[in-house]
Amino acid sequence: MKNLLLKIRLVIIGGVLFSNIISAQPTRVKEYAKHDYYVAAYIWPSCHDDPMGRKMLWPEGIGEWEVIKKGNPRYDGHYQPRQPLWGYGLDNDPEVVEKWIDAATDHGVNVFIYDWYWYNEGPFLESALNDGFLKAKNNEKMQFYIMWANHDVKYNFWNYHLYKDNTDILWDAKVDWENYKIIVDRVINQYFKRPNYFKINGEPVFSIFSIGKLVESFNGSPEETRKALDYFREKVKEAGFPGLHIQWNQGGGSMMSDEAARNFKERVKVMGFNSVALYNMGGLNEDYLVYGSNSRRIREQMDSILDVPLFPCVSVGWDDTPRFPAKGIKDVVHFNNTPDSFAALLSKAKKYADSHPDQPGLITVNAWNEWVEGSYLLPDMLNGFGYLEAVKEVFIEGKFDRY
């Protein structure tokens, strides 16, 4: 009897141990694989009456809408001008942005990344964020963060109708230490302290678009630039945060030579960036599917060389012909550019996030409202809510994860 009881106990203990081992394995895998997804859409805040904008670029008082409305077809079947379903609302109108926030969060977009500018020793286009988003009654449903879009602007870049062939520099994005300190103080106190400012591990995220221009601002030296970024970090800590997450941002990029890849990795390291993000997909092609494949190869190369997180970006499309009179069919994404194709690429970005469980599930989308570049999630007269529905299918309904 004692032997029988001992055998029963051993069987029970063994079964429990085996059961625990079996049940522990999937649980551990699930914990690592599970992500909170941050689907972050870029906002280009040009469609309102900014004082500098009215004076130098868009005299009609409706911002870049005046250029968007003048878009003209360059080939048969070319969808220009783009026609917003909700009309030409101003992006600094809180009622307009309240509708944006509801539509975005209903469909799985939960972060807005605002392009943010500083020219001529002052802010530019800031009203979209300050008066549109932050005064929207429902703004705390949506997280946000800033991408300092510190690039030069040529006279004819944002309104060739006014300036024709004038390619002189209208605004130089380089800043001196005095202005840099003003910027640091401004973004900490005006934005970082907001409860819905996007943070990683408690650290506010601050993205910088033109790394070359940033380095130029500090004597062309990556080491001096590191000192400037470290100053920013210290000021953020003094404000009560554990630190600052500084994000290297750029256009979609291209395939790099071995030497270029090494230099890229070294610059990210020397200047102390915490992550790398992309503003749009690289590898532009007329065929959206080829465009997407090109961008994924670029992403794979970047991911293989970087020691910091790389966050994927998916573009809705590309058509910036309203800005450039000489551009035509070969400069536009026009084959296979559909909401379904966009959803498929989003699902690949989601898989990338799942395969990097040690980093936040941040996926950027170009863009929320880049009407002038033909890349927007907002509903229009051609596709309705198609692109927003694509986001919903991937991140809320899990359509691409069922089989």
Q: For the domain that residue 260 is a member of, what is the CATH number?
A: 3.20.20.80
- For residue 14, tell me if it sits in a domain: no
Long-range CB contacts (within 8 A, 24+) of 70-75 = 70/161, 70/322, 71/321, 71/322, 71/372, 72/321, 74/321, 74/327, 74/328, 74/329, 74/332, 75/328, 75/329
Nearest to 293 by CA among 279, 303, 301, 283: 283
**Using CA atoms, how far apart are residues 327 and 324, in angstroms rounded to an integer?**
6
State how many domains the chain has: 1
> What pLDDT score was predicted for residue 365?
99
**Using CA atoms, how far apart are residues 235 and 239, in angstroms rounded to an integer?**
6
> What pLDDT score was predicted for residue 9?
42
3-class state of residue 145 by DSSP: strand
> What pLDDT score was predicted for residue 317?
99
Q: Which amino acid is at 127?
A: S
218, two tokens: 């500090």
Which residues constitute the domain of residue 199? 36-401
329, two tokens: 């069919």
Q: Which amino acid is at 72?
A: N
- For residue 26, tell me if it sits in a domain: no
> What pLDDT score was predicted for residue 30?
32
List the chain residues with pLDDT less than 50.
Answer: 1-34
3-class state of residue 117 by DSSP: strand
**Using CA atoms, how far apart are residues 288 and 341, in angstroms rounded to an integer?**
8
171, two tokens: 């605004």
- For residue 206, tell me if it sits in a domain: yes
- For residue 247, tell me if it sits in a domain: yes
Q: What is the pLDDT of residues 264-276, one digit of tens each?
A: 999 999 999 999 9
35, two tokens: 């992500």
- Only one residue has tokens 């591990």, namely 201
- For residue 15, tell me if it sits in a domain: no
The pTM is what?
A: 0.91
Angstrom CA distances, 317 to 38, 100, 262, 344, stand at: 21, 20, 30, 14
- For residue 25, tell me if it sits in a domain: no
Residues 40/112, Cβ–Cβ less than 8 Å: yes
**Using CA atoms, how far apart are residues 343 and 357, in angstroms rounded to an integer?**
22
- For residue 340, tell me if it sits in a domain: yes
**Using CA atoms, how far apart are residues 281 and 317, in angstroms rounded to an integer?**
9
> What pLDDT score was predicted for residue 23?
34
